[in-house]
Amino acid sequence: MIQFTGVHKWFKQLHVLNDINLRITPGEVLVVCGPSGSGKSTLIRTINQLEPINEGKLVVDGMDLLDKRTDINKLRAEIGFVFQQFNLYPHLSVLSNITLAPLKIRKTSKKEAEEQAMTLLARVGLAEKRDAYPSQLSGGQQQRVAIARALAMKPKIMLFDEPTSALDPEMIGEVLAVMQDLAGTGITMVVVTHEMGFAREVAHRVAFMDHGVVLEEAKPEEFFRNPQHERAQQFLKQLLSPMH
Amino acid sequence: MLTYQFDWSVVTSGKYFEWLVSGCKVTLQISVVGIVLAFIVGLLIAVMRMSNFRPARWFALAYLEFFRNTPLLVQIFFWYFGSYKILPTAVNDWLNSTNFEFAAAVIALTIYTSAFIAEDIRSGVLSIPKEQMEAARSAGFSFLRSMQYIILPQAVRITVPPLVNQFLNLAKNSSLAMTIGVMELTYQARQVESYTFKGFEAFTAATVVYLVLSSSITALVHLYDKRVLNPNRAV
């Protein structure tokens, strides 16, 4: 579904992605973790080309991202992206946030788009907020709307870039619950997160990154019980017991 | 001792009143057509200025520099006295059969004002967080569609106060159209003064009309802002 082969990316002098080789199969849930500045957000943003790569090969859903003939807008429509800061459209109601892309890109009828939006809102537990505006919602609610907005395009792949990092602790659970529910539907998911509980329970595989390199890839039970790389051991130690 | 005899009847009834009324109509026409066109052209130029397509960006930049940095009166004279010299005869014949003064005035005012509007809109767009564009692009919208549905609706809201200023400028600048013989309000007030020597009354009447016109434009835009544009905005 997603195949990185020898991918490199630089921001000026900074080598943010260094020889990434990663294969994500259909239906897989991959959690990417690592210290801040390790390149994990950049990695996930290359998948829908919010960040273009400089070198290597990246194939997503059969489309080569470096091929000039690839219609990037078409590809992006098949990929849902959930941001750390939600990024809902503040001038549109919750319902319009969700129906905008299906109406304008998929040319779905208004009736169908709204019915589908209501189904999605019910699924994320916010059906009663259809007419609210983003500024009237809590962070957790906004993020759930953002997930519904992404799902409205019926994407094949969902990308989550630290979806709970901007949330108050009591709201993290509601967003993770929606994501866990989603993982059960068999959609391909790549999740950048520090929520190790989520990684342990939901992920099929965990990738650990540091300094632009994927240092370790493993099933979650192996990764958490017996991390191979020294940096991964330190990272987990700090994350799981930050007081020591 | 004031010897001037006020005679307000020249501007409230009769032939001269009708001249002023017809001048009002022309001023209103220029203003409304000019504002609508200047807003549309301003939006287009603003989008071109911000696009990744180099020729579009360069064209917009040249347009902005050129029309913002030359006097409006020169631009009006250029369109009226200059432009037809380089047009084919057939086009000129057609232009002369129409109301060319009016068209030249509207073109000049539209282009001049659109340059200022474009820069106001651009500064509005720059104040929208870049994540909004990322959200739109990642949903699969092209640059232009993202602008159309997500960025510009937010940017225009922020831009309402400077936009009102530009609309008012256009309405007031329409008085310069008299220099090429457009029979708008100032032209007619001048006519009334020439025929009656009642300059105080004639230009007081014109002043009042401009005041009413300007306040109406301000009120209309604010009404639109409140009623039609999203009242629950977060910005």
pLDDT, block means (10 residues), chain B with 235 residues: 84 91 96 97 97 95 96 94 82 81 94 97 96 97 96 93 95 96 95 92 95 95 79 48
Looking at CA atoms only, how far is residue B223 from chain A in angstroms?
A: 18
pLDDT, residue B235, reads 41
Tell me whether residues B234 and A133 touch, CB distance under 8 A: yes
User: A213 in the Ramachandran plot: left (φ > 0), alpha (ψ -120 to 50) or beta?
Assistant: beta
Chain B residues close to A133, C-beta within 8 Å: 230, 232-234
The pLDDT of residue A244 is above 60: no
Q: In what order do the strands lie in the sheet with A79-82?
A: A79-82, A157-161, A188-192, A29-33, A205-210, A213-218
Chain B residues close to A74, C-beta within 8 Å: 140
What are phi and psi for residue A82, nearest 5 degrees? Answer: -115, 125
Q: Which of A74, A79, A91, A160 to mutate to test the interface with B (most CBs of B within 10 A)?
A: A91
User: Residue type for A145, please?
Assistant: V
pLDDT, residue A242, reads 63
List CB contacts of B57: < 8 A, sequence separation 6 or more.
Answer: B48, B49, B50, B51
Tell me whether residues B135 and A87 touch, CB distance under 8 A: yes
Nearest CA in chain A to B143: A73
Chain A residues close to B150, C-beta within 8 Å: 89, 100
Mean per-residue pLDDT over chain A, rounded: 94
The pLDDT tens digits of the residues spanning A199-228 come to: 999 999 999 999 999 999 999 999 999 999
How far, in Å, CA of B196 to CA of A23, rounded?
A: 89
pLDDT, residue A175, reads 95
The pLDDT of residue A84 is above 50: yes
Looking at CA atoms only, how far is residue B135 from chain A in angstroms?
A: 6
pLDDT, residue A49, reads 94
Chain B residues close to A76, C-beta within 8 Å: 137-140
pLDDT, residue A108, reads 96
Looking at CA atoms only, how far is residue B149 from chain A in angstroms?
A: 8
pLDDT, residue A4, reads 97
Nearest to B138 among A74, A76, A85 (CB): A76
User: Structural domain boundaries of chain B?
Assistant: 26-184
pLDDT cut 90: percent of chain A above it:
95
Looking at CA atoms only, how far is residue A129 from chain B in angstroms?
A: 14
Tell me whether residues B232 and A133 touch, CB distance under 8 A: yes
pLDDT, residue B231, reads 54
Q: Quote the ipTM score.
A: 0.92
The pLDDT of residue A15 is above 80: yes
Looking at CA atoms only, how far is residue B203 from chain A in angstroms?
A: 45
How far, in Å, CA of B127 to CA of A103, rounded?
A: 27
pLDDT, residue B234, reads 42
Chain B residues close to A82, C-beta within 8 Å: none
pLDDT, residue B232, reads 53
Q: Which residues of B touch A (CB under 8 A)?
A: 129, 131-132, 134-142, 145, 149-150, 153-154, 157, 229-230, 232-235
How far, in Å, CA of B235 to CA of B230, rounded?
A: 11
Q: What is the DSSP string of chain A?
A: -EEEEEEEEEETTEEEEEEEEEEE-TT-EEEEE-STTSSHHHHHHHHTTSS--SEEEEEETTEETT-TTS-HHHHHHTEEEE-TT----TTS-HHHHHHHHHHHTS---HHHHHHHHHHHHHHTT-GGGTT--GGGS-HHHHHHHHHHHHHTT--SEEEEESTTTTS-HHHHHHHHHHHHHHHTTT-EEEEE-S-HHHHHHH-SEEEEEETTEEEEEE-HHHHHH---SHHHHHHHHHHH-TT-
A195 C-beta neighbours (distance < 10 Å), count: 22
Say if CB B12 and CB B202 are below 8 A apart.
no
Say if CB B128 and CB B151 are below 8 A apart.
yes
Looking at CA atoms only, how far is residue B234 from chain A in angstroms?
A: 5
Q: Which of B229, B232, B233 to mutate to test the interface with A (most CBs of A within 10 A)?
A: B232
pLDDT, residue A238, reads 85
Looking at CA atoms only, how far is residue B131 from chain A in angstroms?
A: 6
pLDDT, residue A243, reads 61
The helix or strand, by DSSP H or E, that contains position B213, with its residue range, turns out to be helix B199-227
Nearest CA in chain A to B155: A91
Chain B residues close to A139, C-beta within 8 Å: none
Q: Which residue has the higher pLDDT, B223 or A116?
A: A116
Under CATH, which number does the domain B26-184 receive? 1.10.3720.10
Helices B199-227 and B14-50 meet at what angle, rounded to 10?
Answer: 40
Chain A residues close to B157, C-beta within 8 Å: 91
Nearest to A101 among B129, B139, B153 (CB): B139
Mean pLDDT, range A9-35, rounded to an integer: 95
The pLDDT of residue A112 is above 50: yes
pLDDT, residue B129, reads 96
Chain A residues close to B134, C-beta within 8 Å: 50, 83, 87
A237 band by pLDDT with thresholds 50, 70 and 90: confident
First to last CA, chain B: 59
pLDDT, residue B1, reads 66
User: Residue type for B169, please?
Assistant: N
The pLDDT tens digits of the residues spanning A25-38 come to: 999 999 999 998 89
Q: Which of A87, A131, A162 to mutate to test the interface with B (most CBs of B within 10 A)?
A: A87
